[in-house]
Structure 1
């Protein structure tokens, strides 16, 4: 990963704990595990990681509601 950005992510505490425990079992930091899981998930969803010009592209439309919070 050549360019990195910082971001704030809000998670339910129990999910954070499960992710942290899984990262530990994989001998990775929580950050590294999250990056890995996101990359795997994007590939599984059919999202290209990078195009030939270096820009991220989407090869298929993702399903699901991106914001499931109440209105």
Structure 2
């Protein structure tokens, strides 16, 4: 299992903590559950990509980088 540090806003931490208590889960278990649910929802609702792979989303598209002068 991978261990990593995640910074989240205080209000989001509070919401997850309350939800974990409501669901009688540890904070870690609640976050894992929420991630699994979110990823399942995304993979079933995401339309097929151009390459035909619907399980992985297309990369984010933002403004192109400004040319350096």
Name the TM-score class by shorter chain.
0.5 to 0.7
| Rg larger for | 2
Q: What TM-score comes out, normalization by structure 2 length?
A: 0.65
In structure 2, C-alpha distance between the alignment counterparts of 1:8 and 1:58, rounded to whole Å = 29
Following superposition, which runs of at least 4 residues in structure 1 exceed 6 angstroms of deviation? none
Where does the alignment leave 5 or more consecutive residues of structure 2 unmatched? 45-52, 62-69
The structure with the largest helix share of the pair is 2
Aligned residue-pair number: 53
Where does the alignment leave 5 or more consecutive residues of structure 1 unmatched? 48-56, 66-71
Q: What TM-score comes out, normalization by structure 1 length?
A: 0.63
